Amino acid sequence: MPLSKDERYEKMKEIRDELLNFTESPLHKYRTENKYFPVVGEGSHLASIMFIGEAPGKNEAETARPFCGRSGKLLDEMIASIGLKREDVYITNIVKDRPQDNRDPSPEEIRLYAPFLDRQIEIIEPKVIATLGRFSMDYVMNMFNLWDVLDSISNMHGREFTATASYGDIVIVPLYHPAVALYNGSNKETLLNDFQILKKYV
Ligand code: URA
């Protein structure tokens, strides 16, 4: 049975409290030294579509909101192109703390933070997961036992992969990370086209 709205809220709050004290992570010290926040996620806990990015950047770690910088503005634009608002979907990342100097998340950081993401998926029970960038694509495809079809993001983006979650069927749609579309018009067009696949799940 899906959780009620209040139960979902409580469980997300538990995740936030655990992340605040997540001293096992090498990023915890960097976070506290810089007065950053962990970025749990944002949006509707009842969403059908869940977007999963990589890790918070500086803006995100300062505000505790995912995708609130330039990539976020583009993500909002893409979400609007399918007739939705940020509040209608759920947006999160695999890694919940900012890696130093915007570097890629390490395999160890992904391993440490992924159980929080797994729990968020179980709480929200999305019908569709749209991954943003290759780190979340790799993680989510493996998580749903789709390793045999896993390929480079240039071959995977904009396609739909069906899998079975603990609560029923789920569709995974790998997308390019909005950052790759920021300065390149043709990448932006590709991302916009790929996004239209999500329309049927709105
Ligand atoms: N890039 C990400 O992958 N996630 C964010 O929250 C912001 C930028």
Least Cα distance to 97 among 34, 28, 50 occurs for 28
In this prediction, residue 174 carries a pLDDT of: 98
Q: Indicate the top mutation candidate among 40, 58, 67, 78 to test ligand 1's pocket, ranked by most ligand atoms within 8 A of CB.
A: 67
Å from CA of 67 to ligand 1 middle: 5
Number of domains in the chain: 1
Q: Is 99 in the pocket of ligand 1 (CB under 6 A)?
A: no
Average pLDDT over residues 84-105: 96
Å from CA of 111 to ligand 1 middle: 18
Strand order in the sheet with 161-165: 42-43, 90-93, 49-53, 128-132, 168-175, 161-165
In this prediction, residue 40 carries a pLDDT of: 98
Q: What is the bridge-based pairing of β-strands 42-43 and 128-132?
A: unpaired
Q: Is 60 in the pocket of ligand 1 (CB under 6 A)?
A: yes
Least Cα distance to 92 among 118, 62, 127 occurs for 118
Q: Is 53 in the pocket of ligand 1 (CB under 6 A)?
A: yes
Domain that holds residue 116: 5-201
- Between CA 99 and CA 57 the distance in angstroms is 8
pLDDT interval class at 17 (50, 70, 90): very high
Average pLDDT over residues 10-23: 98
CATH classification of the domain holding 24: 3.40.470.10
Å from CA of 55 to ligand 1 middle: 5
Token readout for 139 is: 């993680």
